[in-house]
Amino acid sequence: MLTHDEICAFLKKKPTLSHSGLTKEASLPTGTLAKAISGQRKLTESHLRALEPILAQYGIEEFRNRRATVISVVNHKGGVGKTTTTINLGKGLVNRHQSVLLIDMDSQGNLSQSLGIHNPEKQLFQALTAGIEMPVLTLSDSFHLVPSDLELSRAEAELIKTPSGVLRFRNVLAPLLAKYDYILIDCPPSLNIFTYSALVASTAALVVLEPEASAVKGMYNLLELITDIQESFNPRLKVEGIVMAQVNPQLVLHRELMGKVRDNLKGQPFFNTEIRQNVAIAESQYIGKTIFDYKPSSTGATDYQSLADEVFANHSF
């Protein structure tokens, strides 16, 4: 039988469905669904039975059997905007009525710190080494975080020393796959055991590049790593797309460099969206907010919502 939470989550994902119409079809008291979705009441067992055949027509079974799209945000170097992209792509997907979990896979803990989480008592490290459940913090409705800090670096030696170490993250992540629409993993600026583990557990890799002469350096190593993981551990893994970040559209040099990057990486998928330079993005991270919460009218918010819309279009059911 359907649960109260499943019905509410499904209807939040289907805003075009008429709550009053569904209430009538199921012969429920007026306002039952509207009150349930707003948190004013719980659906009873008789409500659930009446609603199940009605909602089956609209795809609730497919919704119940969904598994999260897991995307690793990667690059071989730091400072290109991986953390910024993880945070704001995540919130952009929440704006599309998606449930999103962010995972800080970098021992520098920049993702956690950028969201105002410092020195977390429970974090990814314990899940990888002590067998506890993944510690999930609530940022806002449908927007959650698994934090990390420097303690995560202690897990590297333990993961490397055993052949199954690279699978440990995938195993601790498994119980969360049915709870979210998207899981976004902020990977470290290197192709180490943490990046490898994230890709083994992922549906796709999203690559963040800057318009600079050295942007393609290291990309071939990353693409080789993705191919190796596809063949050895994870045949579902693909390149979600490459997004150009910190772009100044007024600079001819940036246009020329982006053209060269696209030429050098022919055959790889590029997002149409480009993330323009915008001081509000850096300001938002400094105060621990997403760009949407800090300055929703900024070009940064516009660009990241556009990127989220592209990702959503790739995976919407």
Enclosing domain of residue 51: 4-64
Asked if residues 58 and 33 have their Cβ atoms less than 8 Å apart, the reply is: no
- Mean pLDDT is lowest, of 62-71, 98-107, 112-121, 223-232, for 62-71
What region, left, alpha or beta, does residue 66 occupy, with left being phi > 0 and alpha being psi -120 to 50 degrees?
beta
When pLDDT is averaged across residues 197-220 and rounded to a whole number, the result is 89
Same-domain check for residues 55 and 85: no
The pLDDT tens digits of the residues spanning 262-305 come to: 888 888 999 999 999 999 999 999 999 999 999 999 999 999 99
Q: Tell me: pLDDT of 78 over 90.
A: no
Same-domain check for residues 193 and 46: no
Same-domain check for residues 56 and 113: no
Same-domain check for residues 10 and 128: no
Specify the amino acid at residue 126: Q
Same-domain check for residues 38 and 171: no
Domain final residue, candidates 24, 46, 64: 64
pTM for this prediction: 0.83
Residues 6 or more apart whose CB falls under 8 angstroms from that of 152 comprise 104, 105, 106, 107, 109, 123, 124, 125, 128, 194
| pLDDT of res. 317 | 52
Same-domain check for residues 48 and 89: no
Domain final residue, candidates 35, 64, 93: 64
The per-residue pLDDT of the chain, averaged, comes to 92
Same-domain check for residues 42 and 156: no
The pLDDT tens digits of the residues spanning 159-172 come to: 998 878 899 999 99
Same-domain check for residues 91 and 209: yes
The domain that holds 234 is classified in CATH as 3.40.50.300
